[in-house]
């Protein structure tokens, strides 16, 4: 066995289809020597079917990150497949329909709270649930969409992503003493199932393809997956609380 992640044991969340960023991460990780366990929510039969398309079919654990009972039992369920974890990938996000699309001023607290619990607080929840399986050298990586700017129609999901990025920095602070890193990868827009649920997503597509200095491929998640795998590896042993942009350089260009 050889590769960047040789011998690593990874938990990857958020695989829905083979176009998912998480699927590309899982595939690349396996190709680089990792043992991968997936989590799924809702459409479990779909996730299990997609898991069989990986180079090595991966076990799938059901996980609702808002269900404390499932979080409490996660470590034991992971142990059924691997004896510990070296890395965790958080690729989870959700916002009710009224929290996106321009209704920012009308969105209720109940709708905002749901978006924040699933998209932001779950990063801490997932990390805490996995800590019994991790040791020094471990790495937690989350997926974000650069929240340093306000994007039309992204609304409360943008707020949730800002909280997610902050949560990663605080995890870096609190887990550093255990030798565990926390970092974010900020990807440009990709045509995933999650993206299709965002009203006006084509506006993001047009902006990136026209302005990203390196150009931007809307259908290729592999550059993003490579960044995630690099952060999961031992090649960034002193990097934590960071956000790596994989967006063709769009974030660096003035409007």
- How far is it between the farthest Cα atoms of the chain? 54
Q: How far apart are the C-alpha atoms of 225 and 21, rounded to whole Å?
A: 7
Buried (b) or exposed (e) across 192-210, using 16+ Cβ within 10 A? bebbeebeebeebbebbbe
Question: Is 161 noted as a catalytic residue in this protein?
Answer: yes
Q: How far apart are CA 77 and CA 129, in angstroms?
A: 11
Q: With 0-12 CB in 10 A as exposed, 13-18 as middle and 19+ as buried, what is 252?
A: exposed
Q: Which of 52, 154, 170, 196 is catalytic?
A: 154
Alpha carbons 147 and 230: distance in angstroms, whole number? 22
Q: Would you state the structure tokens that stand for residue 66, as one six-digit string?
A: 């808002």
> Can you tell me the distance from the alpha carbon of 168 to that of 238, in angstroms, rounded to the nearest whole number?
15
Length of the chain measured in residues: 255
Active site residue 154: yes
Task: Name the active-site residue from 8, 35, 161, 250.
Answer: 161
**Residues carrying an active site annotation:** 154, 161
């Amino acid at each position: 066995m050889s590769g960047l992640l040789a011998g690593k044991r990874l938990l990857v969340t958020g695989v829905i289809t083979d176009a998912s960023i998480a699927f590309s991460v899982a595939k690349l990780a396996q190709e680089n020597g990792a043992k991968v366990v997936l989590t799924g929510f809702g459409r479990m039969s779909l996730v299990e079917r997609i898991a069989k398309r990986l180079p090595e079919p991966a076990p799938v654990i059901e996980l609702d990150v808002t269900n404390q009972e499932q979080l409490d039992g996660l470590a034991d369920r992971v142990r059924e497949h691997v004896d510990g974890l070296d890395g965790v990938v958080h690729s989870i996000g959700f916002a009710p329909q009224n929290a996106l699309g321009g209704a920012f001023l009308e969105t209720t607290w109940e709708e905002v709270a749901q978006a924040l619990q699933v998209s932001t607080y779950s990063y801490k929840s997932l990390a805490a649930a996995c800590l019994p399986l991790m040791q020094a050298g471990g790495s937690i990586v989350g997926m974000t969409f650069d929240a340093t700017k306000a994007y039309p129609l992204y609304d409360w999901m943008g707020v949730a992503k800002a909280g997610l990025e902050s949560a990663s920095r605080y995890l870096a602070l609190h887990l550093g003493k255990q030798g565990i890193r926390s970092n974010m990868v900020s990807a440009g827009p990709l045509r995933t199932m999650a993206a299709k649920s965002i009203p006006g997503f084509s506006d993001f597509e047009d902006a990136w393809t026209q302005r990203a200095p390196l150009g931007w491929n809307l259908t290729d998640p592999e550059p993003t997956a490579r960044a995630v795998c690099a952060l999961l590896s031992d090649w960034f042993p002193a990097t934590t609380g960071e956000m790596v942009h994989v967006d063709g350089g769009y974030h660096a260009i003035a409007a």
